[in-house]
Amino acid sequence: MAIFTIYIINKAGSLIFHYDHQKTRPEMEKTFSYPLELILKVFDDRIVVAFGERDGIKVGHTVLQINDVPAEGRFLKDKRDILEVLASEENYPLSIKFGRPKLTSNQRIMLASMFHSLFAFGSQLSPESHSSGIEVLETDTFKLHCQQTMTGIKFIVIADPRQSGTDILLKKLYEIYSDFALKNPFYTLDMPIKCELFDLNLQTLVEQSERLGLNVM
Amino acid sequence: MTVFNLYIFGRNGNCLYYTEWNRKQHLDMEKDQEYKLMYGMIVSIKSFVSRISPYDMKDGFQTFKTNKYKLHFYETPSGLKFIMNTDLSVPNIKDVLQQIYSSIYVEYVIKNPLHVLGAPITSDLFKTKLDDYVRGLPFFPVKVS
């Protein structure tokens, strides 16, 4: 039972707020000898596992660090090219840490506008008339709940598939937004929300609804 | 409870088969355009979901719902995509889509030597078998109320 992330998207489709509640991206560290049993490739300016799942390392995981030197894109922090380091035999044995790629803020902005258009497609492709956009989207690892207000702002909660009470959470989120963001004289409409009181209240709300969900079950 | 329509997409994005039962709204665009829109949406959702997920996924995207309908999605490892739209009261029907694949698509399309792989399905036998199967589903009948 968990709430992972909260996003708020304005009516134009840009991300104005995000909050990560649980930072649980799995990471695996393992020592490798030459030659590497995994097939790696460059994707999105990162080194990604393309084939060869083993010991908890999955396809799609990226190289996070090698011998305790963190990776920065395709290079290590000491400016060496990761693929070159991995290709030369004299560097082995190497201890490599793999994990699911973390979302950068640019990617979050992109994903938010992507959802904005998916939401519109969902209502357009409806077999029945007067359909709303996507309200709940379900996968095997998470459930996305989305509520659009009358003014076009979307509140998105990404939670565990078994998490209950998300309807109330969405409603309360809107309440907190109108109380602490909209009533803040220094807040400009449709701009990113940077209000301390809003952050604080949101955090307590999320923790509360996580516990509440447990009680209901 | 009712089933609206069903799309089957091949691995390169062409619509292999489309059929509808109780669809109430039609888009004012060519059917071809609609298939492209649907396929594009599904591909985007798949990419969106795999990036935003906090954990590694097995099956990935399964369903979404709006306030009027629920879309069920099933993809085979060979890239064939089955999409069924139903009303909101229908539970998870992954097994139904799997059944359509394994005992109707494989039996009457793949085992048909006249069928060209990747081309739209024209077989009448497939059509009737699919129609019978879907009409026989417990959640097919339109509620009389």
For residues B70-91, give the mean pLDDT.
95
Is the model's pLDDT at B4 over the cut of 90? yes
pLDDT of residue B145: 47
For residues A41-50, give the mean pLDDT.
90
For all residues of chain B together, what is the average pLDDT?
92
pLDDT of residue A217: 40
HEC string of B7-74 equals EEECCCCCEEEEEECCCCCCCCCCHHHHHHHHHHHHHHHHHHHHHHCCCCCCCCEEEEECCCCEEEEE
Chain B 70-129, residues with CB within 8 Å of chain A CB atoms: 71, 85
Interface of A with B (CB under 8 A): 4-5, 22, 24-26, 58, 60-61, 100, 103, 107, 111, 114-115, 117-118, 121-142, 144, 158
Chain B residues touching residue A142 (CB < 8 angstroms): 52-55
Tell me the pairing of strands A62-66 and A15-20: unpaired
Q: Inspect the interface and report whether the beta carbons of B55 and A141 lie closer than 8 Å.
A: yes
Judging by beta carbons within 10 Å of its beta carbon (0-12, 13-18, 19+), is residue A125 exposed, middle or buried? buried
The residue among B6, B21, B23, B52 with the most chain A CBs within 10 A of its CB, best to mutate, is B52
Tell me the pairing of strands A62-66 and B61-65: unpaired
Chain B residues touching residue A44 (CB < 8 angstroms): none
Q: Inspect the interface and report whether the beta carbons of B37 and A121 lie closer than 8 Å.
A: yes
B38 touches chain A (CB under 8 A): yes
Per-residue pLDDT tens digits for A59-111: 889 999 999 899 988 899 999 999 999 999 999 899 999 998 888 899 999 99
pLDDT class for A142, splitting at 50, 70, 90? very high
Secondary structure class of B75 (helix, strand, coil) = strand
B45 touches chain A (CB under 8 A): yes
ipTM over 0.95: no
- Percentage with pLDDT > 70 across chain A: 97
Cis previous bond, A127, omega within 30:
no
pLDDT of residue A113: 95
